Structure 1
Amino acid sequence: MAEKDELLEHEHDGIREYDNDLPRWWLAIFWLSGIFAVLYVGWLHFGPGLYQDEALARDMKALEEYRTEYAKKNAGTAGGEVGESQLLAFAKNSDRLLTGQNVFVKNCAACHGENGQGIVGPNLTDNYWIHGGTITDIKRIVENGVLEKGMLSWKDQLPPDELNSVVAYVWSLHGTNPPNPKAPEGQEVPRS
């Protein structure tokens, strides 16, 4: 004969409960949670979890090594003034040129064309320059812009390493002869 569910005498807001056992999966979760809590506290306070300060020291050392490597790679670009010789060296660094090309395509190609051939902005591949054609002139123009011609100042828009990379990339565009170049503008400034 089957057991009959019994109603408890307890009543709340007109609701009476049956005297049923909790589902087994609820009990399993309850007991597993308790076991996990005991094991975790033991691991954290008496086991390998106790040595979190060593893990922090290891991670801080790795971070310091990364920062040192980054500083060597970007020598002279993080907060300091980059001179002509450094910019010319950047123009020979393939990583810098790739970064500069990505920044150029993203920010400059709308006016200067993807290959620097000039659209609204001037052609950057020939010997003619409106505001000076040395690499330091190019940096000054990129940093400060030429508002009367519609070019924005990029010194507050780009991090120094990206700004210097795009200057190096523009310098490297000289003599590339892209298709459909814009007519020369400004004074001829031959490269030496």
Structure 2
Amino acid sequence: MLTRLKKLHWPLAALLLPALSAVAQAPEAAPAKAAEPNAQILLFWFLLATLGLVLMVFLLLFVLIVVKMKPQLRKLYELPTVHESWSGKVIGLLIGDTRLVTGEHKDELMGHDYDGITEYDNDLPPWWKYGFYFTIVFAVAYMGYYHVANAGQLQAAEYETEMQQATLLVSADADDPNKLTTYTALLSPADLSEGKTIYTTNCAPCHGANAEGKVGPNLTDEYWLHGGEINHVYKTIKFGVTGKGMVAWKGKLAGKQILQVASYIQSLQGSKPANAKEPQGEKEAPGKPVAAK
């Protein structure tokens, strides 16, 4: 028998070798495509809804059982050995006795009498005491977790983390309203002339022909609502101010045109036009930018 097995060994090996080689050369199975985020969200809400439905069914069954067994529970509750026990109070709560939650009211005066005001010898309601005990446990756990073990972030650190995460979601290109530009004011007569033309066409109806202020604020004094430094003015013109009537000129004016009109506005500082509108905003020293509000 052993001899026959030895004789069959090489033919079997010859037959299996190509199959094993094919298996070895076969490409690895492509990993399963990760579930789409929307599919994961739908699955999560489906499981949550299913769990809620199951809990509602169990609650309904529990209520039906209590209603059916109410006579038996009442007899059990009336037994002297059960009535005053903690489990007896739980049974009493199921059949309508709220002592477990509200406590017992004793008509026993403590002997205190002040201007006709007397005091009964009643304990605090159990619901209040249980709540107070819970706050003690919570405070100890909170102190240990946040201040002793330093396992969690405090409010300031959590705020900083959220702000860092938020910056990752904001683009860093020129169209980012949260990123201030680093331009310098244009001083050439050609740029200021072009800025004046743009201002007269687009800005004068609200700010006045000489920037003295009409519907919009006066642009010639030292007071600014959103910063008077060239890059703050540029940002205000480009992105506007939502809710205050200042429209965004992004898409209507090119970047250089916005810088030209911003430079022209800065050139009007201290011009003191007639009928200038009263100051608005915060006073800004020349050359010191004010953070936009």
TM-score normalised by length of structure 2: 0.36
Out of 262, 268, 271, which is 1:176 matched to? Answer: 271
Matches for 1:78-97 after TM superposition, within 5 Å: 84=182, 86-88=183-185, 90=186, 92-97=187-192
Aligned-residue offset at 1:83: 5.2
Out of 123, 146, 169, which is 2:241 matched to? Answer: 146
Give me the whole-angstrom Cα distance separating, in 2, the residues matched to 1:189 and 1:131: 10
Out of 200, 213, 217, which is 1:118 matched to? Answer: 213
Aligned-residue offset at 1:109: 0.2
Give me the whole-angstrom Cα distance separating, in 2, the residues matched to 1:161 and 1:135: 13
Give me the whole-angstrom Cα distance separating, in 2, the residues matched to 1:136 and 1:182: 23
Question: What letter matches 2:271 in structure 1?
Answer: T
Question: What letter matches 2:217 in structure 1?
Answer: P
Farther-moved stretch of structure 1 (117-126 vs 141-150) = 141-150
Give me the whole-angstrom Cα distance separating, in 2, the residues matched to 1:119 and 1:171: 18
Asked if structure 2 preserves the Cα contact closer than 8 Å seen for 1:87 and 1:167, the reply is: no
- Cα 1:82/1:96, change in 2 over 3 Å: farther
Give me the whole-angstrom Cα distance separating, in 2, the residues matched to 1:82 and 1:106: 26
Q: Does 1:188 align with 2:283?
A: yes
Matches for 1:1-192 after TM superposition, within 5 Å: 84=182, 86-88=183-185, 90=186, 92-192=187-287
The superposition leaves residues 41-71 of structure 1 with CA deviations (integer Å, 9 ceiling, x where unpaired) of xxxxxxxxxxxxxxxxxxxxxxxxxxxxxxx
* Cα-Cα RMSD: 1.9
> 2:112 maps to which residue?
none
* Count of aligned pairs: 110
- Cα 1:82/1:189, change in 2 over 3 Å: closer
- The structure with more radius of gyration: 2
SS in structure 1 at match of 2:196: helix
Asked if structure 1 preserves the Cα contact closer than 8 Å seen for 2:195 and 2:257, the reply is: yes
The superposition leaves residues 89-133 of structure 1 with CA deviations (integer Å, 9 ceiling, x where unpaired) of x1x211000000000000000000011100000000000001112
Higher relative contact order (CA 8 A, sep 6+): 1
The unaligned stretches of length 5 or more in structure 2 are 1-174, 288-293
